[in-house]
Amino acid sequence: MCAKKSADPVIDEISTLRAQLEEANYRYYVEDAPSIPDAEYDRMLRRLQEIEAEHPDQVTADSPTQRVGAPPAEGFPEVRHAVAMLSLDNAFDEQEVRAFARRVGERLETDEQAITFCCEPKLDGLAVSLVYENGLLVQGATRGDGRTGEGITANLRTLRSIPLRLRGDHLPALLEVRGEVYMSHSGFEKLNDEARTRGSKVFANPRNAAAGSLRQLDPNIAAARPLEFCAYQVARIDDEWLKPSHSALMQQLRDMGFRTSPEIDVVTGADGLVDFCDRMGRRRERLDYDIDGAVLKVDDLRAQRELGFVSRAPRWAMAFKFPAQEQTTIIRDVTFQVGRTGRLTPVARLEPVQVAGVMVSNATLHNMDEIERLDARIGDTVVIRRAGDVIPQIVSVVMDARPEEVHAIEMPEQCPVCGSRVERIGDEVDARCSGGLFCPAQRKEALKHFASRRALDIDGLGTKLIDALVEREWVTTPADLFRLEAERLAELPRMAQKSADNLVASLERSRHTTLPRFIYALGITEVGEATANALVLHFGELQRIMDASREALETVADIGPIVAGHIHSFFAEAHNRETIEDLIRVGIDWEEVEVGEREQPLAGQTWVLTGTLEALTRDEAKARLVALGAKVSGSVSKKTHAVVAGEAAGSKLEKARQLGVEVMDEQTLLNFLGQHESAPSSEKAP
């Protein structure tokens, strides 16, 4: 894009900045290929604001500075849609999708296997309509009832994926574009994290967050929300701009500066439709935004005109809906689960219900704050949601369905497992059982953690077995595990002599471990693998970690005052020191690590692993990166140094590409590790 030259250097700078900012938006939102860092964008925007402040006569409505700054509205004006915003008919299974293709074929008197369809995922957001006159955005409105919506132009102007001015020199006098406003998962998480930090209300899901943001009367609030727009339909355009097909119109929208779905595809016949719906069903989990199905449209616009409409929906389109991930059911009871650190988690016991093919009878309520936020009571009808393989969540209470008699959910004063006092420390949201390792629930969880794969990795010591050992009081501390004898183990129900022998053999193997694993296995609050590694790299040996002061602990990379406090108080407890001595007495050992600072070429860098790796497990890859000083994180951001993408990498890879973060495959990672994992460099000669 080139800015026209004028005699006035101020005007030149303004138009150059505007062109650069528009180009950056286009590259980011339409092409998914950011061209400049965010900081550079912000710098240019600030510069433009400065100049415009000095030259108010040069401010135009389509300037990138004019996205924000409109004063709060009293209410939203009514907007009558020139062309009704219709809904789509739904198909819920393959047969209904095939029936759609058949109907279209019959009406057009053509072979249904030869019809082309333009397909895209169905975004779960809010439909809006945008009107452009002579290339300038003049109005934005919600769908409303389809005939009349609300004018929310000032809010929509704040979305950087909505062009204020269309790209190109030759532009239609009139264009009305429709599309979906939505919030990405990452944007939603960030927004809720910020709300939590401020102590304000969090949104239940990205769709509610998007809806709430568009309804803000103050556009400055909408501007601060990570909303995005994706165009999917042209409602009105001057005839000369019409194209033969819907897919060609979509390409034209991209050329004009709109984001359209990167998943869009043109397919043929009923088989093509069914295949597209299947593909989207599989792709769903990997996308960084919610979709609830696929939209299938006859591609040929003449055929669309011939097909026309039935009552409220076009005959040329169909929405295929995925099985619902949300269902309503009733909270029958709430029980409290005691975790490894004593934390009490409320769990709703539900009237069993099928959600997306799985029977659900429990859902987590997280903590008392969450119960208060939802205003959930025993007896309430609730909306539950199951997405991917996460634990089912309670989304909301159906207040209209609240029966006369409901029971408040209360935190017990005594631990439901051991009867110890339950305490809520300071303003922490979590309540804890004060029983410590006296509480069988905490003991079981601590032992499960101790035996887990990333800790001592005791093969064959599963959850049920640990429960049985604790209930019989054969095991109270981790060291007791190593005193178990095969003959006795074989007395347990469903335990053959062979399995008992195998367990003793694997206990024997796991006696020899590494110091980071051992420290991680102790289960110190907030000490994960990365922190355990960092402690070992810093202090070298266990005794020095045990004796370290709070201040010394805080000097370790990535350990802040809170975690330092947890570590310090753990080792200050006599019984924890005894547990460690006992473990060493029963023969736990590890190789001494070399003392002296290893070279940490990746210090200060954050890496992300995604997809399936072949030669390495995720844990191994992570451990080796951490050993070189990197922090390994689960989410991609601007600050990510590199993303290692294995087989079938999904949304994280997509995000990395969007943000221009370096991406490497597994082989490149292996080469890289090979080059950097040299012997300790600062090792002094003996």
- Which of 21, 97, 317, 500 lies at the binding interface for ligand JCF (CB under 6 A)? 317
Q: Which of 122, 444, 622, 631 is catalytic?
A: 122
All residues at 6 or more sequence positions from 285 whose CB lies less than 8 Å from its CB, including other chains:
388, 650
Location of structure tokens 């439909």: 127
Output the smallest distance, CB 317 to ligand JCF, in A: 5
Per-residue interface string for the shown chain with ligand JCF, residues 105-144, x marking contact by CB under 6 A? ---------------x-xx---------------------
- Which of 180, 228, 300, 380 lies at the binding interface for ligand JCF (CB under 6 A)? 180
Output the smallest distance, CB 96 to ligand JCF, in A: 17
Q: Is 2 annotated as a binding residue?
A: no
Residue closer to ligand JCF, measured from CB, 287 or 295: 295
Output the smallest distance, CB 87 to ligand JCF, in A: 7
Element (H, E) at 487: helix 486-489
Q: Is 277 annotated as a binding residue?
A: no
Output the smallest distance, CB 208 to ligand JCF, in A: 16
Q: Is 210 annotated as a binding residue?
A: no
Cα–Cα separations (whole angstroms), residue 192 to 180, 209, 226, 263, 391: 21, 9, 11, 27, 19
Burial code (b: 16+ CB inside 10 Å, e: under 16) for 157-175 equals: bbbbbbbbbbbeeebbeeb
Cα–Cα separations (whole angstroms), residue 592 to 514, 528, 543, 577, 585: 8, 21, 12, 20, 17
Is residue 350 close enough to count as binding ligand JCF by CB under 6 A?
no
Output the smallest distance, CB 260 to ligand JCF, in A: 9
Residue closer to ligand JCF, measured from CB, 181 or 397: 181
Task: Say how many residues touch ligand JCF, by CB under 6 A.
Answer: 9
Per-residue interface string for the shown chain with ligand JCF, residues 285-304, x marking contact by CB under 6 A? ----------x---------
Residue pair 244/300 in contact (Cβ under 8 Å)? The answer is yes
Q: Which of residues 462-501 bind ligand JCF (CB under 6 A)?
A: none
Q: Which of residues 69-108 bind ligand JCF (CB under 6 A)?
A: 88
Residue closer to ligand JCF, measured from CB, 127 or 417: 127
**DSSP designation for 473:** T
Is residue 247 close enough to count as binding ligand JCF by CB under 6 A?
no
Q: Is 682 annotated as a binding residue?
A: no
Output the smallest distance, CB 125 to ligand JCF, in A: 7
- Which of 41, 188, 229, 232 lies at the binding interface for ligand JCF (CB under 6 A)? 232
Longest dimension (CA), the chain: 96
Residue closer to ligand JCF, measured from CB, 115 or 649: 115
**Which stretches of 460-555 are assigned E, i.e. beta strand?**
512-513
In this structure, the number of other CB atoms found within 10 A of the CB of residue 373 comes to 14
Residue 105 to residue 98: CA distance in whole angstroms: 11
Location of structure tokens 């609300």: 150
Q: Is 659 annotated as a binding residue?
A: no
> What does 211-273 look like in DSSP terms, one character per residue?
HHHHT-SSHHHHHTS-EEEEEEEEEEE-GGG--SBHHHHHHHHHHTT--B-TT-EEEEHHHHH
The residue count of the chain comes to 686
Please say if 122 is a catalytic residue. yes
Q: Is 433 annotated as a binding residue?
A: no
Structure tokens at 45: 């925007």
Residue 440 to residue 475: CA distance in whole angstroms: 10
Residue 441 to residue 420: CA distance in whole angstroms: 12
Per-residue interface string for the shown chain with ligand JCF, residues 36-75, x marking contact by CB under 6 A? ----------------------------------------
Is residue 233 close enough to count as binding ligand JCF by CB under 6 A?
yes
Residue 444 to residue 341: CA distance in whole angstroms: 11
Judged by the rule CB under 6 A, the positions of this chain that interact with ligand JCF are 88, 120, 122-123, 180, 232-233, 295, 317
Tell me the binding residues: 38-42, 87-88, 120, 143, 180, 297, 321, 415, 418, 439
Q: Which residues are catalytic?
A: 122
Tell me the binding residues for NAD(+): 38-42, 87-88, 120, 143, 180, 297, 321
Tell me the binding residues for Zn(2+): 415, 418, 439
